[in-house]
């Protein structure tokens, strides 16, 4: 019996770029096994080495999470669809203060809001009284901040510690060419105050950590997650749960986007009966191993995509403040820009969730770098010389004429942007082409930053290659420290 399986963008390189695959099976388990038989490179992305399905990959039959059906034994029919959903990165007590009013200028500025019955003067006062904290002034934070400012949200806080880079300009519309090298927060403040001088912009130029998150979140009504890494995403979630704050979630990669509202604590959404929904850990209990899911810097992102997802986050934030409509609590919206499709999946609160479940085991913020398996940055670069090599060491060896096999495991379109003359075998093709590599030579593997190449080097060692080293920092480090003529992207 043929069943259609939807393949997310990050996994399409392993299905010959197909977004849907027809496989056979009467249960989810049979469907996935047939999928792996046809596309064997999916195996490590869906199952651990001991054959257990990875916890950061969710499987849906139609719009139902199989964890709340019969798990992998869930039966499927030919009319069903199976979706693979990997991880990619409540309400508001908006009580209007008696001293919050609207000036004549504001009445004119917000006139198109005021004539909407669901907003009106009372709703606009709620917006003015509200305080929203945006985590990140990047791709998602840009449209969120701009639309919240334009809507008249009274206080907008932004947490970021980065400077504007030229690679940001393709999508981070808070910033312009003249802002390159400038603090993102200074640039964001200037842009938002230019949009609406009536809004108070609070900036926090610091890294969000377990030590400062609760203090930063405490004074805000809604937290908007515009982060780009897993440790911060889990930190935002846990801090929101502990404080009972709604978490407006968004994530983006290549052509795919996700958006939801995580509301773990029972809070009044519309000033009425409390609504309790799942948190981010209910969706993804554990993070993927470092480097398995590419970041936007490695996987890329269509510049307009954060505008779409960030605008939806701004929409959900405004709905929460107004207490109107149905927020995305218990629902996950998936957007595929290539096919221009929106799909909605149901989410349920996991009673065994370690932070929002019936018997939580997490009562305070933890070390999220350790939880996600991310090594803390070292004061000085240290390497394991048995399996790693720096760009400086590689340059010396090439200069003295050492006979090395340099392997580039990036994608062909990346190779066209910048290369150092290595042989190109993309990571997704390596299991089928590794025999093209000369095993008699010492092999140096590189990618953009060193994550994909580390996986490739480990794969080759398991296949019996004895002399394999990963180039630490990849072609990025080569461009920065050896040859600036190699384009940085």
pLDDT in tens, 381-398: 577 889 999 999 999 999
With bands split at pLDDT 50, 70 and 90, how would you rate the model's confidence at 1? Answer: confident
Per-residue model confidence (pLDDT) at position 125: 95
Say whether pLDDT at 238 is over 90. Answer: yes
- Rounded CA-CA distance 189/159 in Å is 12
Q: Is 72 helix (H, G, I), strand (E, B) or coil?
A: helix
pLDDT tens-digit readout, 416-432:
999 999 999 999 999 99
- Rounded CA-CA distance 259/250 in Å is 4
Per-residue model confidence (pLDDT) at position 134: 98
Of the candidates 198, 234, 200, 236, the one whose C-alpha atom is nearest the C-alpha of residue 216 is: 236
Of the candidates 111, 84, 107, the one whose C-alpha atom is nearest the C-alpha of residue 11 is: 84
Report percent pLDDT > 90 for the chain.
72
Side by side, which strands form the sheet with 247-253?
200-204, 155-159, 131-135, 222-225, 247-253, 256-262, 331-336, 341-346
Per-residue model confidence (pLDDT) at position 95: 52
Dig out the tokens for 60 from the structure.
């849906």
> Residue 394, Cβ neighbours under 10 Å: how many?
22
With bands split at pLDDT 50, 70 and 90, how would you rate the model's confidence at 301? Answer: confident
Say whether pLDDT at 268 is over 80. Answer: no
- Rounded CA-CA distance 60/74 in Å is 10
pLDDT tens-digit readout, 438-460:
888 999 999 999 989 999 999 99
- Please compute the mean of the pLDDT values over residues 192-218 and round it to a whole number: 96
Q: What residues contact 334, with CB distance under 8 A and at least 6 apart?
A: 83, 85, 256, 257, 258, 342, 343, 344, 345
Query: In this structure, what are the phi and psi dihedrals at residue 155, rounded to the nearest 5 degrees?
Result: -130, 125
Mean pLDDT across the chain, nearest whole number?
89
18 in active site: no
Q: What is the DSSP letter of 451?
A: H
Per-residue model confidence (pLDDT) at position 93: 46
Q: Under CATH, which number does the domain 2-86 receive?
A: 3.10.20.30
The model scores a pTM over 0.85: no
Per-residue model confidence (pLDDT) at position 18: 87
Q: Is 203 helix (H, G, I), strand (E, B) or coil?
A: strand
With bands split at pLDDT 50, 70 and 90, how would you rate the model's confidence at 272? Answer: very low
388-481 carries CATH number 3.40.250.10: yes
Which of 219-228, 297-306, 471-480 shows the lowest per-residue confidence on average (mean pLDDT)? Answer: 297-306
Q: What residues contact 235, with CB distance under 8 A and at least 6 apart?
A: 208, 209, 210, 213, 365, 368
Per mean pLDDT, which of 78-92, 301-315, 382-396 is the most reliable? 301-315
Report percent pLDDT > 70 for the chain.
92
With bands split at pLDDT 50, 70 and 90, how would you rate the model's confidence at 91? Answer: very low
**Which is the catalytic residue, given 240, 279, 296, 356?**
296
Per-residue model confidence (pLDDT) at position 56: 80
- Please compute the mean of the pLDDT values over residues 202-212 and round it to a whole number: 95
Which residue has better confidence, 13 or 424?
A: 424
Q: What is the DSSP letter of 163?
A: B
- Rounded CA-CA distance 258/378 in Å is 33
- Rounded CA-CA distance 345/63 in Å is 5
Query: Is the separation of the CB atoms in 159 and 136 below 8 Å?
Result: yes
Query: Is the separation of the CB atoms in 163 and 184 below 8 Å?
Result: yes
The domain limits of the chain are 2-86, 130-371, 388-481
CATH fold of 130-371 reads Rossmann fold (3.40.50)
Per-residue model confidence (pLDDT) at position 292: 66
- Rounded CA-CA distance 83/51 in Å is 20
Which of 76-90, 182-196, 444-458, 472-486 shows the lowest per-residue confidence on average (mean pLDDT)? Answer: 76-90
Burial class (CB in 10 A: 0-12, 13-18, 19+), 49: exposed
Query: Tokens 């810097």 sit at which residue?
Result: 297
Of the candidates 242, 236, 238, 277, the one whose C-alpha atom is nearest the C-alpha of residue 260 is: 277
240 in active site: no
pLDDT tens-digit readout, 98-151:
468 899 999 999 999 999 998 999 999 999 999 999 999 999 999 999 999 999
Per-residue model confidence (pLDDT) at position 97: 53
Side by side, which strands form the sheet with 81-86?
20-24, 2-6, 81-86, 57-61, 64-65
């Amino acid at each position: 019996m043929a069943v259609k399986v939807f393949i997310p963008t990050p996994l399409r390189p392993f299905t010959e770029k197909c977004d849907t695959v027809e496989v056979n099976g009467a249960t989810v388990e049979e469907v996935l096994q047939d999928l792996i038989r046809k596309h064997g490179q999916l195996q490590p992305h869906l199952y651990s080495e001991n054959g257990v399905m990875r916890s950061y990959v969710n499987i849906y039959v139609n719009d139902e999470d199989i964890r709340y059906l019969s798990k992998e034994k869930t039966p499927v029919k030919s009319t069903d669809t199976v979706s693979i959903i990997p991880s990619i990165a409540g309400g508001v007590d908006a009580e209007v203060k008696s001293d919050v009013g609207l000036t004549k200028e504001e009445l004119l500025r917000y006139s198109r809001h005021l004539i909407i019955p669901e907003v009106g003067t009372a709703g606009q006062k709620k917006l003015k009284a509200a305080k929203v904290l945006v985590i990140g002034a990047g791709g998602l934070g840009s449209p969120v901040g701009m639309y919240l400012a334009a809507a008249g949200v009274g206080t907008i806080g932004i947490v970021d510690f980065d400077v504007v880079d030229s690679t940001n300009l393709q999508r981070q519309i808070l910033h312009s060419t003249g802002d390159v090298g400038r603090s993102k927060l200074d640039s964001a403040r200037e842009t938002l105050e230019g949009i609406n001088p009536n809004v108070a912009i609070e900036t926090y130029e610091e890294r969000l950590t377990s030590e400062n998150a609760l203090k930063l979140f405490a004074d805000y009504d809604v937290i908007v997650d515009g982060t780009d890494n897993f440790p911060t995403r889990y930190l935002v979630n846990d801090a929101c749960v502990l404080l009972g704050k709604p978490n407006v979630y968004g994530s983006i990669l290549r052509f795919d986007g996700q958006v939801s509202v995580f509301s773990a604590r029972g809070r009044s959404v519309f000033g009425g009966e409390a609504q309790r929904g799942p948190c981010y850990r209910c969706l993804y209990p554990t993070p993927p191993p470092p480097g398995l899911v590419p970041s936007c810097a490695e996987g890329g992102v269509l510049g307009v995509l954060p505008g779409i997802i960030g605008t939806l986050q701004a929409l959900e934030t405004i709905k929460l403040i107004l207490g109107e409509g149905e927020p995305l609590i218990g629902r996950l919206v998936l957007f595929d820009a290539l096919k221009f499709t929106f799909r909605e999946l149901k989410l349920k609160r996991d009673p065994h969730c370690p932070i929002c479940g019936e018997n939580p085991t997490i009562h305070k913020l933890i070390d999220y770098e350790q939880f996600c398996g991310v090594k803390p940055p070292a004061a000085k670069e240290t390497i394991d010389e048995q399996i790693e090599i720096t760009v400086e060491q590689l340059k010396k060896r090439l200069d003295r004429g050492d006979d090395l096999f340099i392997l580039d495991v990036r994608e062909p379109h990346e190779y066209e942007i910048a290369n150092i003359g290595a042989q190109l075998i993309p990571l997704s093709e390596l299991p089928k082409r590794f025999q093209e590599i000369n095993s008699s030579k010492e092999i140096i593997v590189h990618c953009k930053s060193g994550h994909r190449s580390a996986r490739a080097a480990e794969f080759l060692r398991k296949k019996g290659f004895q002399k394999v080293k990963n180039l630490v920092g990849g072609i990025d480090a080569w461009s920065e420290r050896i040859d600036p003529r190699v384009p940085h992207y």
